[in-house]
Amino acid sequence: VQLQASGGGQVQPGGSLRLACTVSGKFFSINAVGWYRQDQGKQRELVAAISAGGLPSHAPSVKGRFTISEDRAKNTVYLQMNSLKPEDTAVYYCSADLRLLKSTTQVQNYWGQGTQVTVSS
């Protein structure tokens, strides 16, 4: 199983980016998926998540600016980031809870490699 995060880059304040997290490999289903970020010297924080039932949630610091969504057919979760601010600069990671086998409800957590988002003028 592999999680591939993509879409990072450098933008000016007020700009937009869309991150994608694609899950590949052998698994039965995707449960919850979350986007996290970590800036240098700071703790990793949860930015947004989407539940197995498709219910999204967003951290207060990004609510109204960021939107998490999914395309289950493509095993991909997106993070649309609008009105970006310099304080959004960080490495963004995706994490997914995967049910590996149909025969069990046990889930296993996986992380992607991270994608850099830099917001500066």
**For 70-120, what is each residue's pLDDT tens digit?**
999 999 999 999 999 999 999 999 999 999 999 998 999 999 999 999 999
**For 24-70, what is each residue's pLDDT tens digit?**
999 999 999 999 999 999 999 999 999 999 999 999 999 999 999 99
Q: Which one-letter DSSP state was computed for residue 72?
A: G
Q: 106: buried, middle or exposed (CB in 10 Å: 19+, 13-18, 0-12)?
A: exposed
